[in-house]
Amino acid sequence: MSIEGLWTASMSAPGEFGAGVIVFETGRVFGGDSSMYYTGSYQVDGGKVTGWLRVRKHHHVPQLVPFAGMDDAEFEIRATIESDKKMKYVATVISPKTGKQVLGELNKLDELPG
């Protein structure tokens, strides 16, 4: 199953919530929100997706605290494909080594242009 496309991403951890958009394209991940951008890679094996994501600050918003409290972090991603339009995931911070986990959901908005 191909997951290539534009997706919304919601994420939560105790006391925190965030949302952004993510593009999955040929094993690569790109995305962002109002203050952070995301880059990484992924693999699909049956109904499971594994990958790596780096999240970095691109814009300082005084009232906004970076999600997970970090301006630059790397995550290991493990997702389950629930349908062609929905995935649930767990992201674990691997750098810095906090071990903090983030739970989230991805919902497909659109296919990539041909």
Asked: is 5-110 a CATH 2.40.128 domain? The reply is yes
Selection from 47, 3, 10 nearest residue 24 by Cα: 3
> Token pair for residue 112?
């990539």
Q: What is the pLDDT of residues 11-65, one digit of tens each?
A: 988 888 889 999 999 999 999 998 899 999 999 999 999 999 999 999 887 776 6
How, if at all, do strands 28-32 and 48-57 pair? unpaired
Q: Where do the domains of the chain lie?
A: 5-110
**What DSSP string runs through 81-105?**
EEETTEEEEEEEEEES----EEEEE
Answering whether pTM is above 0.85, one says: yes
Q: Can you tell me the distance from the alpha carbon of 88 to that of 11, in angstroms, rounded to the nearest whole number?
A: 10
Q: Is residue 11 classed as helix, strand or coil in its secondary structure?
A: strand
